[in-house]
Amino acid sequence: MPLNEPLSPPGQSELSASSRIRVPAFLTHVRSLFMISGVCGLVDAVCFLSLGEVFAEMMTGNLLLIAFYAGTGHPPAAYAANAMAVVAFVLGAVMAGRIVRGRLGHTRFGFFIEWGFLALAVAFSLTLPLETSEVARFALIGALAFAMGMQNALIRRHGVPDLATNVMTLTLTALVADSTLAGGENERWRRRFASITVFVAGAMLGALLTTSVAPWAPLLAALALFTLALPGLTRPAAARPDAPPA
C-alpha cells in the first residue's frame, strides 16, 4: 500500500471495494431513494384499498383515523388495524434506530432486514386468506408497517435533503414556497418534484394492480422495485458524500 493512501477502518476498505464491483454505476443512492418513494405509494395503496383503510407507512393517516373513530364513539375494534399498524411501525423504527447506531450502521444493513419483511409480506399476500381472516390481514399489515417503520428510521440517517420517500406535505410545501411564484429561487425543485411524482405514480399503479389483479400484485412490484434499489441503498457511507449527517 502506498504511504500516501489514506487508511480505512478495519473491514471498510474491503467492503467499499466489493461494493464498487457489485453495484452498477447508474444505481446511485439518490436514484435508489426515488425508487423507494414508489415503494411507499405501492404499499399504501394495497393497505388502504384491500386491508381496511389502514396505512403501513403514513402514520398521520392512521392517527387521524383512530381519532375520528374514537371521537365518534366507535368501538376499539373499528380502529384496531390502524392501532396495530402504528405499533408495528414503532417497533420497526426502534429496530432500525438501534441498527444505525450499531457497528453495522455504516453498511446500511437495516435495508436488508426491511427487504426480508417486504418479502414476508408478499408471501402472506399469496398464501393467507385475506378476504376472510382478520388475523391474516393483521399479519400482513404488521409485516408491512414494520418494514415501513424501519425504512423511515433508516432514511432519517441515510437520506438526502429534499428527497422525501413518503412525507409529501413538507416536500410540496418546499416546492411551492421556494418557487418563483412565491419569490424564491426554485431550490432543488427537480428533486422535490420528482419525489412527489414517483410517490403518486407508485400509488396509482398500486391502486390499479390491487383492484384489477389482487393485493399480491402491487406488493410483488414493490418488492421487485426495492430489490433493484437495494444495491444503491447499501453502498458504504464513504461512497455517498451527499448523505446528510445524523
What per-residue confidence (pLDDT) applies to 19?
42
Contact 121, 144 (CB under 8 A): yes
Quote the CA–CA distance of 99 and 108 in Å, as a whole number.
8
pLDDT (mean) for 189-216: 91
* Confidence grade of residue 23 (pLDDT, cut at 50, 70, 90): low
- The answer, yes or no, to whether residue 120 has pLDDT greater than 90, is yes
pLDDT digits (tens, 9 = 90+) for 160-198: 665 666 677 777 777 888 888 888 777 778 878 888 898
Rounded Cα distance, 118 and 96, in Å: 15
Question: What percentage of the chain reaches a pLDDT higher than 70?
Answer: 79
> Closest Cα to residue 36, out of 105, 99, 136, 111?
111
Q: Which amino acid is located at 153 in the chain?
A: A
Residue 43 reports pLDDT greater than 90: yes
Per-residue model confidence (pLDDT) at position 62 = 95
pLDDT for 17 beyond 90: no
Q: Are 118 and 226 in contact (CB under 8 A)?
A: yes
Q: Which residue has the higher pLDDT, 57 or 242?
A: 57
158: its cell numbers = 441515510
User: What are the pLDDT digits (tens) for 45-75?
Assistant: 999 999 989 999 889 999 999 999 999 999 9
* pLDDT attached to residue 70: 96
Between 114 and 14, name the one with better pLDDT: 114
